[in-house]
Amino acid sequence: MLHTETVAGSTLELLKKLEAENAMSDFNLAGETSLALYLGHRISVDLDLFTPKPFDAKKMETFLRDKYGFRSDFMEKNTLKGTIDGVKIDCITHSYDYLEKPYTESGIRLYSMEDIIAMKLSAIADNGSRLKDFIDIAFLSTRFPFGSMLRLYERKFPGANVIRPFKAITYFDDIDFEEDIVMLNCRFDWKLIERRLVDMTKTQNKVFESFPLPLKKQSLRSVVKKGIHKRGLKR
């Protein structure tokens, strides 16, 4: 069951409408919002729509502009980025085979969790600055052991050096700790996220029983205030 409470209702409705369009029949939700829907751990606001096939970015821009009021911020071959009613939309060709068939529920198509894990590890290996990527991988430890995550990365990206994501998930010097994070039902504590990531590399066959952050008794959102969580950061 998807955790639809992690995404604004209007954004979910927009997603369903977009994925129902014939012009977007090959696009599936990826990125942070897909994981938020799978795990229910934090709020997410952007829509990353990926396809394994090439597409005409200019034609897609015209379609989305005419029907949805899309405002383009960036366009190049097989890439279109912009907003619809303030919601950030990325349409991108991700030219790698699916590890698993995309998952569909209630009119929402998502990349499989296996595919998203591989893409998250690739993102961390290529650019270890996004705090959200580290949080997401830490929370995924309740579904997959780290060793399995690395094997998914190898399958998704044949020929890639698996040592890169292995080392990258415990290298924290480049993380942007000014990034605001909105957790759902738990209070953010970087020290606990860091501890989980380190533990994952030490016990690669373990699926952790609980989230790296303790759940609250009441469903209250915790917003990370800029700069506060820098305390305790290991350098």
Are residues 220 and 128 both part of a single domain?
yes
Residue 106 lies in a domain: yes
Residue 177 lies in a domain: yes
Are residues 15 and 84 both part of a single domain?
yes
Report whether 121 contacts 153 (CB < 8 A). Answer: yes
Residue 223 lies in a domain: yes
Q: Going by DSSP bridges, is the β-strand pair 79-84/87-93 parallel, antiparallel, or unpaired? A: antiparallel
At 39 the three-state DSSP class reads helix
pLDDT at 159: 94
Instruction: List pLDDT tens digits, range 112-139.
Output: 999 999 999 999 999 999 999 999 999 9
Report whether 160 contacts 153 (CB < 8 A). Answer: yes
Of residues 63, 53, 92, the one with CA closest to residue 75: 92
pLDDT at residue 228 greater than cutoff 80:
no
Report whether 184 contacts 42 (CB < 8 A). Answer: yes
Instruction: List pLDDT tens digits, range 66-100.
Output: 999 999 999 999 999 999 999 999 999 999 999 99
Encoding tokens for residue 7? 């995404």
Are residues 84 and 118 both part of a single domain?
no
Are residues 177 and 198 both part of a single domain?
yes
The number of domains in the chain is: 2
Domain of residue 27 covers 4-110
Residue 235 lies in a domain: no
pTM confidence score:
0.89
Are residues 80 and 105 both part of a single domain?
yes
Are residues 20 and 117 both part of a single domain?
no
